Chain A
Amino acid sequence: MKTKTNALGQGFIRCHDCGCLVKSVNHLSSCPRCDSHLHARRPHSLQRTAALLFSSFFLYIPANIFPIMNVNQFGAGDPHTIAGGIIELFNSGMIPIGLLVLVASILVPSLKLIGIGLLLLCAHFRWQVNARKWTVMYRVIAFVGRWSMLDIFMISILVDLVNFGAVQIIAGPAATAFAAVVILTMFAAENFDPRLLWDNQHNL
């Protein structure tokens, strides 16, 4: 089998910010080109990712239980949860938009929580896996994360536009929790270092 070499194994560190290669033998603490801190791997990658993941996991529960918005019509309140809003879209025949919201606000966050959890387990327990496939999974997770903010932006528009005294839309407590879930999982994905997956493979 052809041996392929890690940069770190050859004594090189790649700067996170500007991408230049630095010889780690010189024990530089900052990058000569852009002056940012040099780390061979993201510092405390697994601990930070795990902390952020657990926080977002626990926030995910209130985000789905509590109403994300209240539709007040002539004094009578009608609370909507995330799932309720999607069911309503389906019932009124707007299937494509309903699917879009289903993917962005339910499938993406929950699959993301599971995916980051698996990545953490894989890196921590040094599972022997097809690292290329796992890196692709990481890439997908890091890419799709921001699209979950869709629901939050939609609420900001609805709250602003539907404000007619008799008919009002008011944001609910789940909005804060959901926004926190999206942001924390984005940070979790950013803090996870996919190179740890490759470091653990014995036969490359």
Chain B
Amino acid sequence: MNSTNYDACPECDLLIKSAQLKIGEKAHCPRCGFLLSRPRKQTVERTFALSIAGFILFFPANLLPMVGITVLGNTNTGLLMSGVIALFNDGMEAVAIVVFLASIFFPLVHISLSLLISGHLYFNRPNRCLIGWMRWMHHLDEWVMLEVYMLGIIVACVKLMAIAPLKFGWGLYAFIALIIITTMLTSGLDSALFWQRIEQLSNENIDEN
């Protein structure tokens, strides 16, 4: 029995013959129904393009004002970072750090990693760090909470609309675009294929030396 011809389901450990899927097909575990693989068209190119777009959008989304509120002639505008600072100044250091990590730091690291990995794969450049990057990206997936933050913005705006007029800035539009891109990145990533390509690249590198 050769281990390369087989796969195990990550959620029920059923031993399954690896299937060669065509684009657009899905493989589910016959026992527990887990979505095993779902190959996408040109996944490396797609990931590379989306990562570039996401990396660029990250800056306007963080630097331009998102929501502004005017009360008695005074206007306050909010950024992702200013929310973190406000929490910090209230003595909520732990919460401020969590918000910073989930809405600014992890998304940035995640997009940078996916840019680095897909860039290396796209240009066929082997790199010793690829494996480490790939593992980190896999672990960070769950902690990128931009779409949850968006719901937070919506609820906060609904609450504030009753009090005072709101103004939406370009930062918010950039942020929405960033969410669409990160969602497409995580849902369209074919990690099995990425691992295979990384393995191929490092093997070629060994052969050349």
| Residues of chain A at the chain B interface (Cβ within 8 Å) | 4-10, 12, 14, 16-23, 33-36, 89, 92, 94, 97, 100-101, 104, 131-132, 135-136, 138-139, 146-147, 149-164, 166-167, 170-171, 175-176, 179-180, 183, 186, 190, 194-195, 197-199, 204
Q: What 12 additional pairs, Cβ within 8 angstroms, besides A17-B138, A154-B156? A: A7-B8, A10-B1, A16-B10, A17-B139, A19-B7, A20-B3, A100-B151, A136-B33, A149-B145, A156-B87, A162-B71, A180-B94
Is B159 interfacial (CB 8 A cutoff)? yes
B residues in contact with A34, CB < 8 Å: 131, 134-135, 195
| B98–A157 CB distance below 8 A | no
Q: Which of A146, A149, A160, A190 sits near B78, CB closer than 8 Å?
A: A160
On whether the beta carbons of B32 and A132 are closer than 8 Å, the reply is yes
Find out whether the CB atom of A6 lies under 8 angstroms from the CB atom of B13.
Answer: yes
Asked if B19 lies at the interface with its beta carbon under 8 angstroms from chain A, I say no
Instruction: Tell whether, in the assembled complex, residue A97 and residue B152 are in contact, meaning their CB atoms are under 8 Å apart.
Output: no
- Tell me whether A10 and B78 are in contact (CB under 8 A): no
A167 close to B71 (CB less than 8 A): yes
Q: Are B12 and A135 in contact (CB under 8 A)?
A: yes
Docked Cα-Cα span, A42 to B135, in Å, equals 16
Can you report 27 residue pairs joining A to B where beta carbons are below 8 Å apart? A7-B14, A10-B1, A10-B15, A12-B3, A14-B7, A14-B13, A17-B138, A18-B131, A21-B4, A21-B6, A132-B33, A135-B33, A146-B142, A146-B145, A146-B148, A149-B102, A150-B151, A153-B99, A153-B149, A154-B159, A155-B95, A163-B76, A164-B74, A171-B92, A171-B95, A175-B92, A195-B12
> Of all chain B residues, which has the CB nearest A197?
B12
> Is B56 in the interface zone, CB < 8 Å from A?
no
| A100 lies within 8 A of B155 (CB) | yes
Check if B199 sits within 8 Å of A160, measured CB to CB: no
Within 8 A of A (CB), among B13-71: 13-15, 31-34, 67, 69, 71
Contact between B134 and A18 (Cβ–Cβ < 8 Å)? yes
Contact between chains at A161 and B78 (CB < 8 Å): yes
Check if A156 sits within 8 Å of B158, measured CB to CB.
no
Contacts A34-B135, A164-B76 given; does A19 touch B191 at CB 8 Å: yes
